[in-house]
Amino acid sequence: MSSQTLILLLVVVLSNLNSISCLEFVFNTNFNSTNIHTYGNATIENSIVSITNQTVFTIGRALYPSKITTKQTNSTNPLPFSTSFIFSISTYKNLLPGHGLAFAFFPFDGIVGASSSGYLGLFNLSNDDDNKFKELKLKNGVNYQAWIDYEDSRINVTMAKAGETRPIRPLISEFLDLSGVLLDEMYVGFTGATGQLVVSQKILSWSFSNSNCSIGDALVTANLPSFVIPKESVFRSKGFVIGVSVGAVLIVVCGVVIWDVLVRKKREKREGKEEIEDWELQYWPHRISYQEVYAATMGFSEENVIGFGANGKVYKGVLLGVEVAVKRISVESEHGMSEFLAEVSSLGRLKHKNLVGLRGWSKKEKENLILIYDYMENGSLDKRIFDCDESLTLSWEEMIKVLKGVASGILYLHEGWESKVLHRDIKASNVLLDKDLNARLGDFGLARMHHHEELATTTQVIGTPGYMAPEVVRTGRASTQTDVFSFGVLVLEMVCGRRPIEDGKPNLLDWLCMLIERGDLLSALDDRIKAKGCYSDEEVERVVNLGILCACPDANVRPTMRQVLKVLEGTGLEEEILNVNLLERIETALNLSACYESNIEALVIYEVRKIMEVSERKFFLGGSMV
């Protein structure tokens, strides 16, 4: 139900009259047609002026019969005035209340040019200005007394319930210079209007004087008629009946809900104890409740999907105020459980700045296995190479920074932890970039670990085509050198901006071989990196050489990740990489290999010769001196 408004407003228009006289009148519930003139829908009922009734879209106006002097003779200074009136605003049953009434000065009588509804029979659309109004909530039918005093360009408006002492502090006190806008003589009185919203607005008493500031004290405030709508019996009201009915329903519903919650909690507590398995204590017991994960991802909303894995979707979420990535693995997928256990058993215990942090895990019986990771703002390296605007393409310096980070993470897996960890699926889509473009190696679903002195026992051919070393394809046996091979392919992929295998094109190594045969190796550099500049031809050759060496068909020829990182960090090539015997080892290995054609052999031998030719020189790599 809308608020009822009392609007106290002075309306003035320019004019030029010269007469002056003192005026004073008091009407104490004794209005009649001689001392007050009514217009529009206004009426006089039982010596009380009724401005509006329940008729919609009407205007009511009640004015003193004659104009009053508002300015001093031969002066622009307005006369002071004091007025007080007792009014009542009440609602009608089953009707919405609205609008209000106004005390005003008028240049003419009648209601010509005024509009109903919110314009109060005072204005129309041409002079609409909400900033002129001061609103009070007065819709309860109680009798209120208002005092308005104007003197020395200051207007004070005070209000209280009828019969109470006039407050010392005015409700409104503003400077208002009327000298430039008042006519010499004007009508004074009240106006109001109804629209679709209606109220009953009545004036019970009224006093006015332009010389006596205490004229309001002459109004009689005792034994006035009351227009407060009598309240119905609470027990018979519709609200009471509805309230009781709704309350009863709510009590029943709440009882059912509480019972259901208690039963669920008891069952979940019992099931929770049953769900704790041996592997949870053996590997990493950092479980996060399914309810927390569900809330963090907004119920696994499709709007929060940021990627797709081999066995499920990846969602963005907020857990305890921190952004996280949530991988949801289906238990129905072929490798879902093995991927889940591999991640928890390996990544859950590994801590390195270049590995994606696993914050915890969760699962829901017969539905999903869930892994929660640190959120990487810049997404996967694969998208940054192949699926982004040219302006977001990595520069040469950024590319070297990423390669250093990936190499550092792999070195930690191979040598830096208590067990040797084989990632077995190093590729661009498994490298993530944080907000500062620091590389984080992730997706340990295929990872295996064993003691440093042991060899891997797995013989299953597993990995991503194009990144798998030849010996994995032949025997299924993985080693640290198979990870080095995958890293070499990643190096060449980043430099060239080409995937290892693309439909309708030669594979990446064959293509590089053809460029070397033509003596045009530098054209292999991604055109987008070329456009950014800040590299040298020698740098490009060094990095391509390193990638080809890592991707050598013979695992014995490939460098270790420690040697690779030394090259990338510019601390110098290990002697064993540049040893003269290295060329002979590569030639022998390639002559015995049946997995690569002669052009690939020539490519690897050529690149190693290039490395050896410059072994005595200094060169720049990624902004560092080697």
Binding-site residue set = 327
Alpha carbon distance 229, 624 (integer Å) = 89
**Is residue 586 within 8 Å of residue 605, measured between CB atoms?**
yes
Q: Which distant-in-sequence residues (6+ apart) come within 8 Å of 120 by Cβ?
A: 7, 99, 100, 101, 102, 191, 192, 193
Query: 3: which DSSP letter?
Result: P
Alpha carbon distance 293, 318 (integer Å) = 9
Which residue in the list 152, 217, 374, 425 is annotated as catalytic?
A: 425
Give the C-alpha distances (Å, rounded to integers) separating 301 from 24, 128, 240, 420, 619: 75, 48, 42, 38, 52
What is the CB neighbour count within 10 angstroms for residue 402? 23
Handedness of CA 47, 52, 58, 61 (dihedral sign): positive
**3-class secondary-structure state, position 321:** coil
DSSP string covering 128-145, please?
Answer: --GGG----B--S--EEE
Alpha carbon distance 452, 417 (integer Å) = 9
Query: 416: which DSSP letter?
Result: I
**Is residue 95 within 8 Å of residue 149, measured between CB atoms?**
no
**3-class secondary-structure state, position 496:** helix
Look up 526 and say whether it is catalytic.
no
Binding residue positions for ATP: 327
**Is residue 396 within 8 Å of residue 420, measured between CB atoms?**
no
Query: 559: which DSSP letter?
Result: P
What is the CB neighbour count within 10 angstroms for residue 458? 15
Q: Which distant-in-sequence residues (6+ apart) come within 8 Å of 506 by Cβ?
A: 514
Q: Tell me the one-letter amino acid at 490.
A: L
- Pick from 442, 445, 439: which is nearest to 399 by CA? 439
Alpha carbon distance 501, 496 (integer Å) = 13
Q: Tell me the one-letter amino acid at 175.
A: F
The catalytic site residues sit at: 425
